[in-house]
Amino acid sequence: MDFMKSIAIAASGLRAQAGRIRVIAENIANADSTAQQAGSDPYRRKIPTFRTEIDRALEARTVALGQVRNDPSDFQLKYQPGHPAADATGNVKYPNVNPLIEMADMREAQRSYEANINVIGATRRMILRTFDILKA
């Protein structure tokens, strides 16, 4: 039964990290977007969170993607008076997305995803080895 707990916990980590990667990809995709109308706000960076869940069938704590929150930090302002999204003073608001931070977050999520895959693989090998021992 502990093998099943291990796989369930790692699988929940896979799902949570996959959701985190989707949010980060959305941030990267919108990093250079501007507002639809002059003076309005552009895309706001999203921050994924995690929450703990209880798998009652396995009596194990798992993880899940929690609420995705908006980053409250300020938008980047650039002086571009001819831009269609410029306000009355000629400033254009750009998203509060830093591609360098997003790429670092993406790499971290990717490594966590890979670690969970390795846990599932190692558990699978232990199960197969246990079967081999029992056969002998």
Strand partners, 70: 46
Domain ranges of the chain: 2-135
Pairwise CA distance, residues 93 & 79, whole Å: 9
**Which residues are CB-contacts of 133 (< 8 A; sequence separation ≥ 6)?**
none
DSSP string covering 70-114: EP-SPPEEEE-TTSTT--TTSEEEE-S--HHHHHHHHHHHHHHHH
Report residue 75 as tokens: 């938008």
User: How sure is the predictor about 40, in pLDDT bands with cuts at 50, 70 and 90?
Assistant: confident
Quote the pTM value. Answer: 0.88
Buried b or exposed e, range 33-52, using 16+ CB within 10 angstroms: ebbeeeeeebbbbbbbebee
The answer, yes or no, to whether residue 134 has pLDDT greater than 70, is yes
